[in-house]
Amino acid sequence: MELTNAIVKKPGKSMVDGISKSNLGKPDYEKAVIQHNNYIKALEKAGLEVTVLEAEEDYPDSVFVEDPAIVTSDFAVITNPGADSRKGETEAIESAIKEFYSVDNIHRIESPATLDGGDIIQVNNILYAGISDRTNTAGVEQLSEIAGNYGYKTFGIEIENMLHLKSGASYIGDDTVLITGMFLGRPEFLKYNQIILGDSEDYAANSVRVNDYLIIPSGYPMVKKKLEAAGFKLITLDVSEFRKLDGGLSCLSLRF
């Protein structure tokens, strides 16, 4: 399916106070702005028209627009983020999404259910939903009910020792998944071709397929080599400042 649009949000200066379990230090705001601009250029190179939302300083993590929403070609879901400090991010994202989806096709995850978009991997009309610290079973059940009305199937996957499902796995098109060792042997992914990353490469599991291109984080030459050998056309980007907030490439946009 050809993607045509993306929604991103500028990083705010408050991002230095974002949630993080990493030991990489605080992000450099000026560097983050440059990296974010390069990210937008990469999306445009891949053929997307990018809607850029202004920063929200009240929400330090709001640059990660993937979490407050899920977008498909048929419907959108406004989530209920698992981190209390992020729940207010949904308002601006919903306003942006209304420019592209009819009201009838925009749905909500309601408390006590929680769900982060970073826990969702879409493969055509299948949704794999990570059950994590941010996404609970009730959130997956609500998503399954919503998606089922559009002919989609949802499968919950319990995860440990990572923030989101997409922290350790990505669907990169061509019936292929990019996975860390944690997901080796998982029945949900056995039907796909698997490109397996070593422990030192696990951050690269969060890569983004956008039309003809696969966008990957820079600094992983062996991953780059594997993907090129598999025939993928690559764009590499430095997202070091977002990694300091436990964020990756997919976190920075909604693509549809």
What confidence score (pLDDT) does residue 63 get? 99
Q: List the catalytic residue out of 36, 164, 166, 255.
A: 164
Estimate to the nearest angstrom the gap between the alpha carbon of 27 and the chain centroid.
19
Three-state helix/strand/coil letters over the chain: CCCCEEEEECCCHHHHHCCCCCCCCCCCHHHHHHHHHHHHHHHHHCCCEEEEECCCCCCCCCCCCCCCEEECCCCEEECCCCCHHHHHHHHHHHHHHCCCCCHHHEEECCCCCCCCHHHEEEECCEEEEEECCCCCHHHHHHHHHHHHCCCCEEEEEECCCCCCHHHCEEECCCCEEEEEHHHCCCHHHCCCEEEEECHHHHHHHCCEEECCEEEEECCCHHHHHHHHHCCCEEEEECCHHHHCCCCCCHHHCEEC
Q: List the catalytic residue out of 251, 252, 255, 256.
A: 251
Give the separation between CA 242 and CA 215, rounded to whole angstroms.
15
Bridge partner residues of 235 (DSSP)? 215
Q: Where are the domains of the chain?
A: 5-255
Asked whether the beta carbons of 195 and 179 are under 8 A apart, the reply is: yes
Specify the fold of 5-255.
L-arginine/glycine Amidinotransferase; Chain A (3.75.10)
Q: Catalytic: 251?
A: yes
Asked whether the beta carbons of 166 and 248 are under 8 A apart, the reply is: yes
Encode the chain (256 residues) as per-residue pLDDT tens digits.
Answer: 799 999 999 999 999 998 888 888 899 999 999 999 999 999 999 999 999 999 999 999 999 999 999 999 999 999 999 999 999 999 999 999 999 999 999 999 999 999 999 999 999 999 999 999 999 999 999 999 999 999 999 999 999 888 899 999 999 999 999 999 889 889 999 999 999 999 899 999 999 999 999 999 999 999 999 999 999 999 999 999 999 999 999 999 999 9
Asked whether the beta carbons of 19 and 246 are under 8 A apart, the reply is: yes
What confidence score (pLDDT) does residue 20 get? 87
Q: Which two tokens stand for residue 14?
A: 């408050």
Q: Catalytic: 107?
A: no
